[in-house]
Amino acid sequence: MRLGGKVAIVTGGGSGFGEGIARRFAEEGCKVVVNDINDDGGKRVVKEIKAAGGEAAYIRGDVSKDADWAAMMKFSLDTYGDLDIVINNAGTTHRNQPVLDVTEKDFDRVYAVNVKSLYHCARNVVPHFRKKGAGVFVTIASTAGVRPRPGLVWYNGSKAAAIVASRAMAVELAPDKIRVNVVNPVAGDTPLLAEFMGEDTPEMRKKFVSTIPLGRFSQPRDIANACLYLASDEADFITGACIEVDGGRCV
């Protein structure tokens, strides 16, 4: 198995891309710490992974809070004795709307979840990775950070910041044998899709899909397979990379 013996934290693992990543990792022998703020979703994913023969455990936590990251780190060590991989998947957006209509509260929430979470993650996890002499981070950013869409200005900016911060970390942490890579999904058929589009109608879906050359939204398994490669030993010479899983949108 490609992740046999590994332990991973997957943030936002109770639905959408995070759920897909957690399931795929468990299929490949990884012990998965599923994190979310949605207890029902997180517990459901863990129950279903276990029913399929995998290993997983759930911990509630807000990725924008340092204390919650400390708790996740401790939970991983207490439950599985180690941590090898962190998938920074949890994210949020403001609704698709004119730039001046986004409230300060929504702006702060987007940057706290999409950007500040990486800061708290690094502070709590990097010392462990340095001590063991290896570790993998994968940031789930977005094509919005590479090819922005109108109506999502501050979300676009948060994902661009996440990309640059992750690539800068990759350079700084490379001497410690810690790899940091980025996966950029195009809009996915997930719970956040309506927020990205502004309204979930057949016409709006058609409009968004028309911008994707391969002609469909991304699916959780698409993102999970990219993360699986980057988290595995097959990618042990890859750091600072951004993989667009976008059906050709950024070409």
Structural contact between residues 136 and 74, judged by C-beta atoms closer than 8 angstroms: no
Backbone torsion region of residue 88, taken as left when φ is above 0, otherwise alpha when ψ lies between -120 and 50, otherwise beta: beta
The identity of residue 114, as a single letter, is N
Task: Give the position of tokens 């990618």.
Answer: 235
Task: Give the position of tokens 């993989």.
Answer: 243
Task: Give the position of tokens 């468990």.
Answer: 26
Residue 206 corresponds to which tokens in the numbers above? 């058609």
Please give the Cα distance from 123 to 191 (Å, whole number): 29
Q: Any idea what DSSP says for residue 96?
A: S
Cα 72–chain centre separation: 15
Residue in 58, 80, 111, 155 annotated catalytic:
155
Instruction: Please say if 80 is a catalytic residue.
Output: no
Q: How many residues does the chain have?
A: 251
* Residues in CB range of 78: below 8 A, 6 or more apart: none
Cα 220–chain centre separation: 11
Residue 124 corresponds to which tokens in the numbers above? 């709590």
Please give the Cα distance from 245 to 184 (Å, whole number): 6
Residue 59 corresponds to which tokens in the numbers above? 């911990």
The identity of residue 68, as a single letter, is D
Residue 138 in 3-state DSSP? strand
Catalytic sites, residue numbers: 155
